[in-house]
Amino acid sequence: MNCIFEKIVAGEIPSNKVLENDKFLAFHDINPKAPVHILIIPKQHYANFQEMDPALMGEMTKFIQEVAITLGVDKSGYRLVTNCGENGGQEVMHLHFHLLGGTMLKWTDNHAANTKDNF
């Protein structure tokens, strides 16, 4: 066991938990980018969304919906983001969804500042 989110699941690193069941965990992001910024993870290790078991993803969908209700953003709305791999800007290599809300979120231009950087 070596990844930081596995250590959070094991309780070796503390987290501010929002909701938990036997398969999934939701906790506050340590560096929030919005008034509500929660990370939602499967307890089993999957490196990223591309590696995720589609059947388990179905169950995770229900859990994420419950997190939104728990936080009171299910009606006001929220953004769900998962960064996958290098171009996605993923830093922690354990699948996680960012649930962002609590304010009207901006939508930014995701192109590199210099378009030549893309090629």
Active-site residues, by number, are: 96
Q: What is the dihedral of CA 54, 28, 7, 4, to 10 degrees?
A: 80
Nearer to ligand AMP, 110 or 119 (CB): 110
Element at 37 (helix H, strand E): strand 36-42
CB–CB of 59/23 below 8 Å? yes
Which residues within the stretch 43-102 sit at the binding site for ligand AMP (CB under 6 A)? 83, 89-92
Distance in Å, CB of 59 to ligand AMP, minimum: 21
Residue 26 sits in the site that holds ligand AMP (CB under 6 A):
no
Residue 34 sits in the site that holds ligand AMP (CB under 6 A):
no
Residue 39 sits in the site that holds ligand AMP (CB under 6 A):
yes
Nearest to 38 by CA among 82, 97, 103, 107: 97
Nearer to ligand AMP, 19 or 55 (CB): 19
Element at 85 (helix H, strand E): helix 85-88
| Interaction site with ligand AMP (CB under 6 A) | 4, 13, 15, 29-31, 39, 83, 89-92
